[in-house]
Amino acid sequence: MATTGNPEPAVDGGFSVAPANAPRKRVLVTGAEGTIGTAVREFLADRFDLRALTRQPVSFASHVADIADLDAILPAFAGIDAVVHLAAASSVSSPWDEILPDNIVGTYNVFEAAARSGVSRVVYASSNHVIGMDEIDNAPALYELSDPRVFDEASEPRPDSLYGVSKLFGEALARYYVEQRGLTAVCLRIGTVRADDDARSLDVPEPLESLTPDQRRQRIRATWLSRRDCAELIAAAIDAPVRWAVAYGISNNPRQFWSLDGARRLLGFHPRDSAPR
């Protein structure tokens, strides 16, 4: 549902914060070679003991395995405190034959490997496309600075694609592993992160390709998440004293139709960057 107030967050509490002098957490990043994985490695290497899991050999140290193969990825989870799960078929237009092994089977394997290995926390890269139809139905008026509508974590799931469906599956799977397998999890519905950090890009997902150039600029003004803010959001999700949470991730943009209230209150996330007006 759309709201203009401050709804109750999707969260369970009851787990303590580590002391300030605790050793650095060992954090496994799946898909560490991607746009967000690169930002994590760039901005968070001095804060966490980062380990990488990639499908292909890369220029940095990594456990190479396909997340669709549980036995192959299991060794990477040994001794890990938290997993940041980024690996996925990441395009809204990804076909089912890519989504099934990567976003369905692979996501199950990551959570299962985490549970078997005694990992405490999984940070799952979900997506705004879990409620993507809310944007499609209300664009382009939704991008106007004067539009008061805000969608939050309580909004009804309305996936705009099979990709969005797969991310909703991942959120449900995360909740199952919290309730039944003893993990803690934070699901991040991430906005628009670009490798070049371009907050003026005209790129839009396939369902929005009919937007004019000006409407496209208005959209990214609302959905942009800088690489630095994205890394800080993930760091906050790794450390947040919550058992379960779902939160949106965008920068402190002039227009915000996805609520940052949950990310602020539950995770302590306060974005420093902002898309231009």
List of E strands, 72-127: 82-85, 121-127
The H or E element containing residue 29 is: strand 26-30
Handedness of CA 43, 171, 207, 217 (dihedral sign): negative
Q: What is the DSSP pairing of strand 26-30 with strand 244-249? A: unpaired
Handedness of CA 47, 50, 56, 58 (dihedral sign): positive
**How many alpha carbons fall within 13 Å on the CB side of residue 203?**
12
Contact at 8 Å (CB) between 79 and 42?
Answer: no
> Which residue is catalytic, options 124, 143, 163, 248?
163
List of E strands, 46-168: 49-54, 63-64, 82-85, 121-127, 150-151
Is residue 163 part of the annotated active site? The answer reads yes
**How many Cβ atoms sit within 10 Å of the Cβ of residue 149?**
13
Q: Angle at the Cα of 48 (from 114 to 111), degrees rounded to 5?
A: 15
Q: Catalytic residue positions? A: 163
